[in-house]
Copies of this chain bind each other. A is one copy, B any other.
Amino acid sequence: MSTIKDIAKRANVSVATVSYVLNNTRFVSPEKKKRVEEAIKELNYVPNAVARGLRVKNSKVISLVVSDITNPFYPDIAKACEQVAYQSGYTLNIVNTNDQDDRFIKAVMQLREGKVDGIINTTVLDHHRSLMENLIKDKYPIVLAHRLLDGINMDTVVADNIQAAIDATNHLINLGHKKIAFMTGVTKSSINNLRIKGFLKAMKDANLPTKEDWLASGQAKYQQSYDLTKELLKNSNNRPTAIINISDLGALGVLDAAGDLGIMVPEELAVVGFDDLFISSMRSVQLTTIRIPRYEIGQKSMELLIDKITNNDTNNHHNILLPAELIVRKTCGSRIID
């Protein structure tokens, strides 16, 4: 591995000159420049980014922290982030915490360690509050994507989850449903709670009762929602006629459980999800859902973050709210059910 010194020696110039041609940061005479470039080629030289980073105090890398890369929700955000990061000369590192706290902490600590210039965080839970608060206090560039942490003044970009849940619920209510179950996700997630709030509000506004065991957690996962659905529907006397699941992945579990139980969707059971994953649009699924604008969330988050970094503007915070849209497909039908 050759260093800038080797290049300088071979090109018969100073290391400073090499640095100048490398970074195009000062005029260098054509002859010297040419010698340097040749030496670089001959030695297959690539500047050490670590040394450079130490000196200039930035890395030109941004981390996107996700809790589960296996959930198709996140890759879409990641893709968008990478796109805009690249355009601005940044590299995106996706880090998967696998829902584990120590991983999460390690990931955000990259900021203090000097390894990354900023972080887009899609995975804060409530008990990370003070950790995040300290980072913000110390002016590290962070934006929360699809997450909220109330009480902390920081940058966020989220969809309008309350309204989304209201829309989903009203859709069902307008179809005549009165017995609606709501399958939630991880209780400590802000987004989760906002959706519950929206659901409860819509129900209340329509003077509809909400049963306690019809508001339970499928953890936004397929299998858990599948199991929970079987539980929920086993008593044929008092069944919900509709289930809203907090995620499409979970809604898929609902659909499959209903299928295995011989319950027809949408005739006997309406189901709606959240997210609008690719799978949900497939011919054999056709799930009615709320589209969370993932690509836009990723994009806006990255734009916001890079803006903060570039302008060194860590004092003003922006809170961007994106609309979510109800996508009506086939899992709710259009019939009025008693």
Interface residues in chain A, defined as those with a beta carbon under 8 Å from any beta carbon in chain B: 1, 44, 46-51, 53-54, 59, 68-70, 72, 75-76, 78-79, 82-83, 86, 91-96, 98, 103, 106, 109-110, 112-115, 134, 138, 222, 252, 255-256, 259-260, 278-279, 282-285
Contacts and interface: CB of A to CB of B under 8 A. Distances in A.
11 contacts: A50-B115, A54-B54, A68-B79, A70-B72, A72-B75, A82-B98, A86-B103, A92-B96, A252-B282, A259-B283, A260-B283
Given A70-B76, A78-B69, A94-B95, A48 B114 contact: yes
Nearest to A58: B50
A294 to B, nearest CB: 10
Contacts of A283: 255-256, 259-260
A94 B97 CA distance: 12
A107 to B, nearest CB: 8
Contacts of A260: 283
B94 A94 contact: yes
B75 A70 contact: yes
A110 to B, nearest CB: 8
Contact of A47 (B50, B53, B113, B255): B113
A285 B280 CA distance: 12
A50 B53 CA distance: 7
B46 A112 contact: yes
Contacts of A79: 68-70, 96, 98
Contacts of A93: 93-95
B69 A94 contact: yes
A326 B224 CA distance: 27
A83 B103 CA distance: 10
Contact of A282 (B50, B106, B256): B256
Q: Which 6 A-B pairs have the closest CB atoms?
A: A49-B113, A46-B112, A94-B94, A256-B283, A93-B93, A284-B284
Nearest to A137: B44
Contacts of A92: 95-96
Contacts of A49: 110, 113-115
A279 B112 CA distance: 40
A251 to B, nearest CB: 12
Contacts of A278: 222
Contacts of A91: 95, 106
Contact of A46 (B44, B51, B78, B109): B109
Most buried by B among A86, A98, A252, A282: A282
A1 B252 contact: no
A279 B259 CA distance: 16
A265 to B, nearest CB: 10
A96 B82 contact: yes
Contacts of A83: 98
Most buried by B among A93, A109, A112, A256: A93
Contacts of A47: 113
A167 to B, nearest CB: 25
Given A69-B75, A78-B96, A79-B98, A46 B113 contact: yes
Contacts of A95: 91-94
A90 to B, nearest CB: 11
